Amino acid sequence: MTPDRFDHLLSLVQDKISKKTHIRQPISAAERLAITLRYLATGDSQQSIAFLFKVGHSTVNSIINEVCTAIKDSLHEYITPPYSHNDWKRISVDFEDFWNMPHCLGAIDGKHIAMKKPAHTGTLYHNYKGFFSMVLLAICDARYNFTVVDVGEYGSNNDCGVLLNSKMGKKFDKDRFNVPDPERIPDFNDTLPYFLVGDEIFPLKQWLMRPFAGKQLTDENRKIFNYRLSRARRIIENTFGILVARWRIFQKAIEGKPETVEKIVLAATALHNYLQQTDNAHYTPAGFIDSENSSGAVSLGQWRKFVNTNFQAIRSVRNSRYLNTALQVRDSLAEYFVSENGSVPWQWEYIRRTGEN
């Protein structure tokens, strides 16, 4: 971030992180913020941060906890979940304008955040990849901003249980997110609900569309659906990629209690949205994010050079049964994507050229 952006961020959190003492000169709010940002951005150990800033190790630990909480609280307006029909519809319009995906409320994905084994937790945080982790579930909009974040599930939880047991999943299942009612897509006969897009790790629901299964699909309509879904879903992959590339604390196992790891994740996602919305020329410059040309060919973003394999996806769903209504919604979307009004000019040639499923 630029020095001016640092000063603005400092003005937002200063009241919450300033210390007063009559015994000795306290560490200034600016230095406390710098210590925390340095820790999040570099992934350096707290010991090396303490050496760099010439403060005690325990002081650094205390500062990181306090400042991460202050950042999360002070930047809440930059990562506020959509609360109204109009909020959701604004996101839906962006997905249709940018990615040709109507009625889309966001792209969803889940990742394992590596952490050192917390004391007295047994295998609760030990995941199927063989390391200790906490699960981050997130939804993003079409502009690479996180809209809903759910963090804290044990790494040992598997399959769709991570979503369905989360507060996020329960609110969507019980229709408590104030999602707009189903509507008819212009120039198409069927009335369709508003939904999220995700990959094969998630179950198929009316509010969550996933790809058709099968590596060798023969139905071209289903191939087109999977391709169009992947275009919209790529947004969350890039959003996570930007987060991990810019805040390299996620490229190693984080030390600290589970509540500390949660604070770090929530602060980093808030900072991501803050910089994406106020200073994206520096935060995500040209070429940093995946891009497409007029024929649908993808140029991979530079963030991929900085991201290692410690930020693992959650495990795929197997042998799931889906409600007929969800299957009907997916079939209707597949039909819409090959209709005259729902198709994009390059999709057939792209599918036949790449064999993409």
Domains of the chain: 3-74 (1.10.10), 80-354 (no CATH)
Using alpha carbons, select from 87, 353, 71 the residue that is nearest to residue 227: 353
Q: What is the mean pLDDT of the segment spanning 78-98?
A: 94
SS3 168: helix
160 pLDDT more than 70:
no
Give the least confident one: 9-18, 62-71, 88-97, 303-312. 303-312
Residue 216 is predicted with a pLDDT of 60
Q: Crossing angle for the helix pair 3-17 and 57-74, nearest 10 degrees?
A: 100
pLDDT for the residue numbered 349: 83
Q: Is the dihedral of CA 264, 266, 270, 272 positive or negative?
A: positive
**Is 60 exceeded by the pLDDT of residue 309?**
no
Instruction: Convert the pLDDT of each residue in 4-24 to its tens digit.
Output: 999 999 999 999 999 877 667
Mean pLDDT along residues 35-62: 95
pLDDT at 1 over 60: yes
- Residue 62 pLDDT exceeds 90: yes
User: Cα angle vertex 339, ends 335, 342, to 5°?
Assistant: 95
**Alpha-helix residue ranges (DSSP H) falling in 180-257:** 220-246
pLDDT at 353: 74
**Residue 3: partners with Cβ closer than 8 Å, 6 or more residues away:** none
The mean of the pLDDT values for the chain is 90
Q: How does pLDDT run across 204-252, given as a tens digit for each residue?
A: 999 999 999 876 677 788 999 999 999 999 999 999 999 999 999 999 9
Residue range 293-302, pLDDT digits in tens: 888 889 999 9
In the predicted structure, residue 73 carries a pLDDT above the cut 60:
yes
Residue with the larger pLDDT of the pair 36 and 154 = 36
Are β-strands 298-299 and 291-292 bridged in parallel, bridged antiparallel, or unpaired?
Answer: antiparallel
3-state secondary structure of 310: coil
Q: Which residue has the higher pLDDT, 315 or 264?
A: 264
Q: What is the pLDDT of residue 310?
A: 60
Distances (CA, A) of 109 to 239, 255, 296: 10, 24, 23
Whether 144 shows a pLDDT value over 70: the answer reads: yes
- Alpha-carbon distance of 288 to 245, in angstroms, equals 10
Please report which confidence band the pLDDT of residue 356 belongs to, taking 50, 70 and 90 as the band edges: low
pLDDT 10s digits, 246-280: 999 999 999 999 999 999 999 999 999 999 999 99
Q: Which H helix or E strand runs over 105? A: strand 104-114
Q: What is the mean pLDDT of residues 175-203?
A: 92
pLDDT of residue 137: 93
Coil, helix or strand for 79? coil
Average pLDDT over residues 321-339: 89
So what's the pLDDT on residue 201? 87
Residues 192-197 have a mean pLDDT of 96
Poorest-pLDDT segment among 82-86, 170-174, 309-313: 309-313
pTM of the model: 0.93
H-state helical runs in 121-257:
161-164, 167-173, 220-246
